[in-house]
């Protein structure tokens, strides 16, 4: 839905002609602050917090600082490039459960079976889960670095560096013989490259749209779902090939990521190029946004829910094999969940434009928690697990689709870049969810994987409750579009 514009602000200069060269492209912060005025949908006029959210002051002396520009066809090429980046970043990360199950079954880092205890196997599973965790940490914590590099070299050069790191990290992971080798390669090197690519495209893509921004971001973020759909089948097929194995799984995957990320390198560029202006860390990370209680509630609620997000993706394959299913069936569960994630993120974008961004996020987060509690907890057959994968996948990805628009809605244009950086940094806490659940599972005497199920469901529902508190604080009308 196109936000309303006051009559005294309807007169604006037209957008400048798009330039193919990105040498003069500035940092993500500069583009966001100087070229877009993000305004929120209608909220309760009588509520003070909602009234504050409506205020957005346009920057002067810029070529185009409004939302009333005409959307160009080229914008959808930006979406394609950004979509492929999502495939090669979060699509690969969410598929880690397939490789984790393979390495667990083939006893990577364990002594011979005669010398292995049950406790040692649990510790190995915990250690393997840190590979995905480290990759997620690097993907989120290196956001400020991506913005600083963008302010120095421009978007295209940062995308080239990120593509190089993603490719090299995966190829080198194919030579791993110990778990800590995977920490360095798929964890740090790949995670750094994924972050550079992800932060760059998410700082550019939203600014090409106004009326269809929610839909565009839904399509972009659905790339991780498509990646999670296709990549597990690639991994499983190559892993089980007698002539190939996991070494070639990583090498082939590395070259696939190279080809896809090069599309982003070619097409992704800012809508309105601005002069480069080197940024310092203090210019990007301004923790004063945490004084905004609405933003703080959104951060806490989102981080809490996100702690449960990766648990099914990391542990569903291992749970499937533990109840007698094949590795292919375990990989299919992740693939189906990712396919539904693809559809769910687009659906979240569409619903956000119709019923409100925060409302959509609350509904989807609640559904994710309920499906985990009511389906996965009692799933003992392939059919029930497949049903859970489909339902969970459809609803669990709303946070990623709506992170940018909700942050902009709460903070406004001026503080949006800082707020987005703080949100990405807060995700570092959330990615420890699988490790916390693993530690609890090892410490208690209960049925295998029960802790993972309960932890994931509780995280989503507690997060949804906090987001509901935020909604009521913004507008006491329960049916209001927020």
Q: Tell me, what's the pLDDT at 228?
A: 82
Digit-by-digit pLDDT tens for the chain (482 residues) are 444 443 443 333 333 333 333 333 333 344 434 444 333 343 344 444 444 444 433 333 334 445 566 767 788 898 999 999 999 998 898 888 889 888 888 878 777 777 777 777 777 878 888 898 899 888 878 878 888 888 888 889 999 999 999 999 999 999 998 899 999 999 999 999 999 998 888 878 877 787 777 778 778 888 887 888 889 889 988 988 888 889 999 999 999 999 999 999 999 888 777 667 777 776 677 778 888 999 999 999 999 999 999 899 888 888 998 898 988 888 889 889 988 988 898 899 889 888 999 999 999 999 999 999 999 999 999 999 999 999 999 999 899 888 888 988 898 867 877 788 788 888 888 888 888 988 888 888 788 889 999 999 999 999 999 999 999 999 888 888 88
Q: Where does residue 109 fall: left (phi above 0), alpha (psi -120 to 50 degrees), or beta otherwise?
A: left
Q: Tell me, what's the pLDDT at 30?
A: 41
Q: Give the Cα separation of 96 and 116 in Å (integer).
A: 24
Q: Which of 204, 475, 224 is nearest to 357 (CA)?
A: 475
pLDDT tens-digit map of 329-373? 888 898 899 889 888 988 998 898 889 999 999 999 999 999 999
Q: Tell me, what's the pLDDT at 39?
A: 36
Q: Give the Cα separation of 339 and 327 in Å (integer).
A: 18
Neighbours of 107 (CB within 10 A): 14
DSSP 476: S
Neighbours of 63 (CB within 10 A): 16
Q: Tell me, what's the pLDDT at 456?
A: 94
Tokens of 181: 């080798």
Instruction: Identify the three-state secondary structure at position 389.
Output: helix
Helix axes 223-239, 246-267, angle to 10 degrees: 150
Spell out the long-range contacts of 235-238 with Cβ–Cβ below 8 A and sequence spacing 24 or more: 235/95, 235/98, 235/99, 235/102, 235/331, 236/98, 236/327, 236/328, 236/331
Dihedral sign from CA coordinates of 64, 66, 70, 74: positive
Q: Where does residue 205 fall: left (phi above 0), alpha (psi -120 to 50 degrees), or beta otherwise?
A: alpha
Task: Give, in order, the Cα–Cα distances in Å from 434 to each of 135, 267, 353, 375, 475.
Answer: 13, 36, 32, 19, 34
**H or E element in which residue 350 lies:** helix 327-355
Q: Which of 360, 375, 341, 359 is nearest to 456 (CA)?
A: 375
Q: Tell me, what's the pLDDT at 45?
A: 44
Q: Tell me, what's the pLDDT at 293?
A: 94
Q: Which of 428, 409, 414 is nearest to 217 (CA)?
A: 409
DSSP 431-453: TTHHHHHHHHHHHS-SSTTHHHH
Q: What are phi and psi of 252, to 5 degrees?
A: -65, -40
Q: Give the Cα separation of 186 and 163 in Å (integer).
A: 14
> Do 173 and 228 meet the contact criterion of CB atoms below 8 Å apart?
no
Q: Which of 183, 217, 210 is nearest to 109 (CA)?
A: 183
Task: Give, in order, the Cα–Cα distances in Å from 25 to each of 83, 112, 404, 410.
Answer: 21, 56, 21, 27
Delineate the domains of the chain, giving CATH numbers in brackets: 31-58+73-474 (1.20.1250.20)
Q: What are phi and psi of 480, to 5 degrees?
A: -70, 145
End-to-end Cα separation, the chain, in angstroms: 12
Spell out the long-range contacts of 318-321 with Cβ–Cβ below 8 A and sequence spacing 24 or more: 318/97, 318/100, 318/101, 318/104, 318/125, 318/449, 319/385, 319/448, 319/449, 319/452, 320/382, 320/385, 321/101, 321/105
Q: How many CA atoms lie within 13 A of 132 on its CB side?
A: 29
Q: Tell me, what's the pLDDT at 220?
A: 86
Q: Give the Cα separation of 452 and 316 in Å (integer).
A: 10
């Amino acid at each position: 839905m196109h936000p309303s514009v006051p009559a005294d602000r309807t007169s604006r200069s037209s957008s400048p002609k798009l330039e193919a060269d990105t040498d003069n492209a500035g940092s993500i912060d500069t583009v966001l602050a100087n070229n877009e005025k993000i305004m929120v949908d209608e909220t309760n006029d009588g509520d003070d917090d909602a009234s504050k959210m409506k205020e957005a002051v346009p920057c002067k002396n810029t070529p185009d600082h409004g939302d009333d520009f005409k959307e160009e066809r080229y914008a959808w090429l930006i979406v394609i490039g950004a979509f492929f980046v999502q495939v090669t970043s979060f699509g690969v990360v969410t598929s880690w459960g397939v490789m984790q199950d393979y390495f667990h079954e083939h006893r990577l880092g364990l002594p011979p079976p005669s010398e292995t205890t049950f406790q040692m196997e649990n510790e190995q599973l915990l250690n393997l889960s840190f590979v995905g965790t480290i990759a997620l940490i690097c993907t989120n914590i290196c956001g400020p670095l991506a913005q600083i590099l963008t302010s120095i070299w421009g978007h295209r050069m940062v995308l080239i560096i990120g593509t190089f790191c993603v490719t090299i990290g995966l190829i080198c992971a194919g030579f791993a013989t110990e778990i800590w080798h995977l920490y360095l390669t798929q964890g740090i090197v790949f995670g750094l490259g994924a972050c550079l690519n992800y932060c760059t495209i998410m700082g550019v893509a939203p600014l090409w749209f106004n009326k269809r921004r929610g839909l565009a971001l839904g399509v972009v973020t659905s790339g991780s779902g498509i990646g999670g759909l296709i990549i597990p089948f690639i991994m499983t097929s190559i892993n089980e090939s007698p002539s190939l194995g996991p070494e070639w799984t990583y090498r082939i995957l590395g070259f696939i990521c190279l080809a896809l990320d090069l599309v982003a390198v070619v097409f992704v560029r800012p809508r309105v190029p601005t002069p480069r202006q080197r940024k310092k860390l203090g210019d990007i990370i301004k923790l004063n946004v945490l004084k905004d209680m609405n933003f703080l509630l959104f951060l806490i609620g989102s981080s809490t829910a996100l702690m449960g997000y990766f648990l099914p993706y990391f542990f569903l394959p291992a749970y499937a094999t533990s109840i007698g299913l094949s590795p292919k069936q375990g990989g299919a569960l992740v693939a189906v969940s990712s396919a539904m994630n693809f559809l769910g993120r687009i659906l979240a974008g569409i619903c956000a434009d119709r019923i409100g961004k925060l409302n959509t996020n609350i509904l989807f987060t609640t559904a994710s928690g309920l499906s985990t509690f009511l389906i996965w907890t009692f799933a003992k057959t392939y059919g029930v697990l497949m049903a859970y994968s489909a339902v969970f996948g459809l609803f669990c990805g709303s946070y990623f689709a709506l992170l940018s628009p909700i942050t902009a809605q709460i903070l406004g244009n001026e503080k949006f870049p800082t707020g987005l950086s703080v949100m990405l940094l807060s995700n570092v806490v959330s990615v420890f969810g699988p490790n916390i659940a693993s530690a609890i599972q090892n410490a208690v005497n209960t049925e295998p994987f029960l802790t993972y199920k309960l932890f994931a469901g509780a995280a989503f529902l507690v997060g949804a409750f906090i987001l509901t508190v935020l909604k009521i604080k913004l507008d006491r009308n329960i049916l209001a579009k927020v």
